[in-house]
Amino acid sequence: MTVVKRPPLTSDERTQLTGWLDLQRSFVRMKCEDLNETDAHRSLLPTSPLMTMAGLVAHLRWNEYSWFQLNLLGVPDTGQTPWTEDGHPDVEMAVDDVPIAQLLDEYDAECARSNAAIADLSLDAVEQGLYAVKGEAASLRYILCHMIEETARHLGHLDIIRELLDGSTSYDRLSPEQPA
């Protein structure tokens, strides 16, 4: 398991934003380490049956795609997303038949694609997708801040679900030289 280090304390804004996002992203795989398929797909919250370890990983993957590809770059959705106009709003979390290892690999690949998408963009670059058309375009700076928040919030959900599943906490699995 590779956990990214925190960004340097005095680094520039871009390094801070991408560094903190990459750190949060690296914790997703850590929280799923040694998780069996049954537990990965086990629903523990009666009012939120799609909120499983696997469902949250899938949700994070599609959030990466939505914010960086669809919204920021304005890449048209050609039907590859799980969403439909009249479908369930959280359909991306319905992944009972997808192995957790595949979901984690897809998440990692999407994060790498997100990083590649923003590599040459200014933090002041604005969305080119649907929100730009509506006159509500966000800057890359905003998107990075939002994705740090979004990823960290769902990491908290992963922490709670994992602890309810098997008593494991993610910090139990950190080596002394890894950041807490």
Model pLDDT, residue 91: 85
How many Cβ atoms sit within 10 Å of the Cβ of residue 126?
Answer: 18
Q: Is 141 exposed, middle or buried (0-12, 13-18, 19+ CB in 10 A)?
A: middle
Using alpha carbons only, give the angle 177, 113, 8 rounded to the nearest 5 degrees.
Answer: 35
Model pLDDT, residue 85: 77
Q: What structural domains does the chain harbor?
A: 15-76+89-173 (1.20.120.450)
Quote the crossing angle between the two packed helices 53-64 and 13-31, to the nearest 10°: 150
Q: Is 54 exposed, middle or buried (0-12, 13-18, 19+ CB in 10 A)?
A: buried
Tens-digit pLDDT string for the chain (180 aa):
566 889 999 999 999 999 999 999 999 999 999 999 999 999 999 999 999 999 999 999 999 999 999 999 999 988 778 877 777 778 899 999 999 999 999 999 999 999 999 999 999 999 998 777 677 899 999 999 999 999 999 999 999 999 999 998 766 555 545 555
What pTM was estimated for this model as a whole? 0.90
